[in-house]
């Protein structure tokens, strides 16, 4: 693990739980940058923050445990705004959460097993490449089509209420009023489970997975999808913070606080920037960002490592 070299002009701060000094401005800067993206796109930003923290020398187990509180802080403002405008579908959120909590618990368990057998980096890396690659690719293609349609003056495609998918035949049907859908609770719970599971392993909130799943699979209106996703991110990230603190003792309040402060400031400016951009252009930008992260992780997997050996203390693996 490379330790950032500290020059005389940097302000360093000691992380009492991670037990290492970091450059305070680097951490605050990361918080602001990721918070900006979080506010702009209405996602948590964990898919950026976790790899970036590991890149600046924070051990993976510490990074995964401290990103959730940053996501909770920077998504709170957006969640509040949507809540006041009554765009959060509480029923849909609760069904998603029920699957999400089971997924998170199993994900945390799988995380610790992978850490012990030494294949965490590989599984996390592959998950990033596959999930981010697919979702980012779909986003890019879809938003590019939407932008081209807009340029040709064609009306944007609205919701198709008549479309039926195979899962509409499943039992336990529920009506979600805000989302204007009448579907089985089974696929929604499964989506929640998947988000929770990959969220725990990859250190992400899963907003960028959940929003497309709600829009394209469940046919939930875009604003309700974003609002409900932000609300769920807020809840799960608060729960994840407490879980990591109880189970792994890896929550570093100094690191978390520095990230939060940067995050909430960045999120405010990001939200304003986001309002100035058209929705399909916003999706194109987010798609580019997601694909970019996937490519970066893919390069790390195939490039010849500088050091063939890694050394970890057993305490960090428990």
Partner 1 sequence: MTACAKSVGLALGAALILTLPAAAERLVTSVSSHRVLISSNFTGTDIVLFGAIEDDEKPSSQERGYDIVVTVRGPAQTFVARRKDRMLGIWINVESRQFIDVPSYLAVLSSRPPDELGPSDFLRRNRIGLVNHTLQQRIGADFADVVSRDPFRTAFLRVKMDQGLYHEEPHGVTFITPSLFRASVPITGIAPTGNYEVETLLVSGGEVIARQSTAIEVVKTGFEELFAQAAREHGFLYGLVTALLALGTGLLANFMFRRD
Q: Does 85 bind partner 1 (CB under 8 A)?
A: no
Q: Does 20 bind partner 1 (CB under 8 A)?
A: yes
Q: Of residues 67, 227, 232, 256, which one binds partner 1 by CB under 8 A?
A: 256
Q: Does 245 bind partner 1 (CB under 8 A)?
A: yes
- Where b means 16+ CB within 10 Å and e means fewer, 160-189 reads eeeeeeeeeeeeeeeebebbebebbbebbb
3-state DSSP of 247-293: HCCCCCHHHHHHHHHHHHHHHHHHHHHHHCCCHHHHHHHHHHHHHHH
Q: Does 109 bind partner 1 (CB under 8 A)?
A: no
Of 134 and 239, nearer to partner 1 (C-beta) is 239
Interface positions, 113-172, toward partner 1 (CB under 8 A): 118-119, 121-122
77 sits in which H/E element: helix 60-84
Q: Of residues 242, 275, 281, 299, which one binds partner 1 by CB under 8 A?
A: 242
Distance CA 289, CA 49 (A): 13
Of 25 and 167, nearer to partner 1 (C-beta) is 25
> In whole angstroms, how close is the CB of 11 to partner 1 at the nearest point?
8
Q: Does 313 bind partner 1 (CB under 8 A)?
A: yes
Q: Does 276 bind partner 1 (CB under 8 A)?
A: no
Kindly state the number of chain residues that form the binding site for partner 1, as judged by CB under 8 A. Answer: 62
Concatenate the DSSP letters of all residues of 100-130 into one string. Answer: HHHHHHHHHHHHHHHHHHT-HHHHHHHHIII
Of 158 and 303, nearer to partner 1 (C-beta) is 303
Report helix, strand or coil for 240.
helix
Q: Does 38 bind partner 1 (CB under 8 A)?
A: no
Q: Does 258 bind partner 1 (CB under 8 A)?
A: no
Q: Of residues 33, 64, 215, 251, which one binds partner 1 by CB under 8 A?
A: 251
| Surface-to-core class of residue 138, CB atoms within 10 Å of its CB (0-12 exposed, 13-18 middle, 19+ buried) | middle
Q: Does 244 bind partner 1 (CB under 8 A)?
A: yes
Residues 206 and 75: beta-carbon distance below 8 Å: no
> In whole angstroms, how close is the CB of 173 to partner 1 at the nearest point?
35
Of 275 and 281, nearer to partner 1 (C-beta) is 275
Q: Does 9 bind partner 1 (CB under 8 A)?
A: no
Alpha helices in 167-252 (DSSP H): 185-202, 207-212, 222-247
Q: Does 12 bind partner 1 (CB under 8 A)?
A: yes
> In whole angstroms, how close is the CB of 26 to partner 1 at the nearest point?
14
CA 313 to chain centre: 28
Q: How many C-beta neighbours within 10 Å does residue 157 have?
A: 9
Of 179 and 241, nearer to partner 1 (C-beta) is 241
Distance CA 187, CA 149 (A): 31
Q: Does 72 bind partner 1 (CB under 8 A)?
A: yes
What residues line the site for partner 1 (CB under 8 A)? 1, 3, 6, 12-14, 16-17, 19-21, 69-70, 72-77, 80, 118-119, 121-122, 237-238, 241-247, 249, 251-254, 256-257, 260-261, 263-265, 267-268, 301-305, 307-315, 317
């Amino acid at each position: 693990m490379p330790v950032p070299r500290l020059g005389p002009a940097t302000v360093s701060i000691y992380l009492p739980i991670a037990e290492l000094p970091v450059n305070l401005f680097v951490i605050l800067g990361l918080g602001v940058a990721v918070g900006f993206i979080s506010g702009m796109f209405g996602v948590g930003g964990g898919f950026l923050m976790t790899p970036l923290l590991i890149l600046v020398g924070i051990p993976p187990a510490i990074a995964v445990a401290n990103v959730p509180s940053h996501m909770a802080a920077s998504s709170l403002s957006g969640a509040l705004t949507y809540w006041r405008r009554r765009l959060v579908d509480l029923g849909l959120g609760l069904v998603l959460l029920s699957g999400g909590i089971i997924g998170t618990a199993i994900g945390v368990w799988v995380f610790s097993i992978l850490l012990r057998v030494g294949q965490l980096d590989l599984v996390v890396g592959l998950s990033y490449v596959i999930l981010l690659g697919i979702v980012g690719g779909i986003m890019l293609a879809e938003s590019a089509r939407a932008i081209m349609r807009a340029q040709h003056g064609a009306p944007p495609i609205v919701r198709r209420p008549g479309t039926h998918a195979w899962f509409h035949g499943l039992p336990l049907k529920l009506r979600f009023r805000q989302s204007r859908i009448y579907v089985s609770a089974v696929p929604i719970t499964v989506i929640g489970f998947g988000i929770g599971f990959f969220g725990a392993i990859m250190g992400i909130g899963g907003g960028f997975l959940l929003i497309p799943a709600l829009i394209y699979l469940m046919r939930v209106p875009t604003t309700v999808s974003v609002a409900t996703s932000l609300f769920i991110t807020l809840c799960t990230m608060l729960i994840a913070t407490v879980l990591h603190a109880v189970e792994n003792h890896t929550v570093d309040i100094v690191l978390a606080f520095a990230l939060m402060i940067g995050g909430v400031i960045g999120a405010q400016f990001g939200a304003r920037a986001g309002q100035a951009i058209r929705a399909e252009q916003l999706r194109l930008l987010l798609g580019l960002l997601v694909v970019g992260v996937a490519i970066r992780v893919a390069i790390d997997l195939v490039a010849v490592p500088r050091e063939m050996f890694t050394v970890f203390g057993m305490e960090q693996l428990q």
